[in-house]
Amino acid sequence: MNLSKKIVTVVAVTSACVFSAFTNENTPSLTFSNEIGSDIVNVSKDSSTFAGAYNEVKAEFSSEKVDAGIDAKIVLATDEDGLPQSLLFSSEDFDWYTVFRPINGFSVGFSADTFATGSYLFVEDDNIASGNLGSDGVTFSFDGVENLTLAVTVPFSETEANFFSKTDSETDEKTLFNFGIGAEYNLFDKATIAATLKNPLNSDSLGFGFYASVTPLDGLQIFAGYSSNEEEGLCDVAGKNLFNASIVYENDNFAVGFDYITTDSDFYSGILFGMNATDNIAAELGVTLNSSYKDNSNIKYVFKPAVSYTVENLGEFKAEVDIGFNDSGFESVCFPVYWSYSL
């Protein structure tokens, strides 16, 4: 099934879920956002090219029995010379989910992510993949016990089937059925502890993780975790024995956060400071660092100053400058801008 057909199918299924949910007594809710943006131009030591553009649409529906959402991005792609080349739906950025709760304490999710709280990274606004209690396939969740969530997930997608048993014709290597289990417990709304187990029947891909979060003071949050085998990676850091940590303090006027990810060979760190200059204007400065413990020539810094302006009924306008450096000095610069509208 190609991406356009998949989008139509997801919209149809979501519409059916929404229709059925409206038969419930509780009032459902619908949120919508649209973001149009571009990096404007990519400038390096040797060239300057147009960076293309995108338009991303997100819609989410929630009710007592059904939650559903879709995230689709249209991209104006460029060729190697930076000239506009094509319009396409970005399959990499396309996402959807549906969650159905037939009875209290039990839910069935399709393509639904449920991340352990301790897997969160504030600066990146993203999660470590191994901390996902759900998957792109089907997930059965149980939350009938107060403060406890249990999940069993079976991962698969339109491009990656989950075989009950498969033997490679060339290597005779046997792959068994892939599934995962996970649990998270909330302690007095001040802390969480979680654990995940991925693909336990296949030793080469087996992975597990432990995650925790704590809110010791109002506005202060700490997230941390360990993943034994992080295959997807985040911020160009992946592999065995991955540790993640993030700390953030937020109030009505400013926020400051720090991220750290490390394996035996590579690490990433990020710092973000943001403040409200006025009721409508906010400014922030982010700095990220990627490097290898064994090879300093892989080091890369990125400085990200930004300012945003919010207009009532018109949304948010944001402009940023991303300036990258490596061990030899200046590497590249681009100028991300976007307009985001939501209702």
SS (H, E, C) 253-269: CEEEEEEEEECCCEEEE
pLDDT attached to residue 113: 92
Identify the domain containing residue 208 by its residue range. 104-266
Give residue-wise pLDDT tens across range 180-215.
999 999 999 999 999 999 999 998 889 999 999 999
Residue 257 placed within a domain: yes
Distance CA 223, CA 131 (A): 12
Average pLDDT taken over every residue of the chain: 89
Answer positive or negative: Cα dihedral of 12, 109, 209, 174. negative
Tokens of 242: 């991955």
Residue 178 placed within a domain: yes
List Cα–Cα distances, 317 to 220, 306, 329, 337, in angstroms. Answer: 28, 11, 31, 8
Residue 2 placed within a domain: no
pLDDT attached to residue 1: 47
Tally of domains in the chain: 1
Residue 299 placed within a domain: no
Residue 272 placed within a domain: no
pLDDT attached to residue 8: 45
List Cα–Cα distances, 85 to 55, 77, 322, in angstroms. Answer: 16, 6, 24
Reduced to 3 states, what is the DSSP secondary structure of residue 18?
helix
- The percentage of the chain sitting over the pLDDT mark of 90, rounded to a whole number, equals 69
Give residue-wise pLDDT tens across range 58-95.
999 999 999 999 999 999 988 887 888 888 888 777 89
Residue 116 placed within a domain: yes
Residue 4 placed within a domain: no
- The percentage of the chain sitting over the pLDDT mark of 70, rounded to a whole number, equals 92
Residue 170 placed within a domain: yes
Distance CA 206, CA 198 (A): 6
pLDDT attached to residue 19: 52
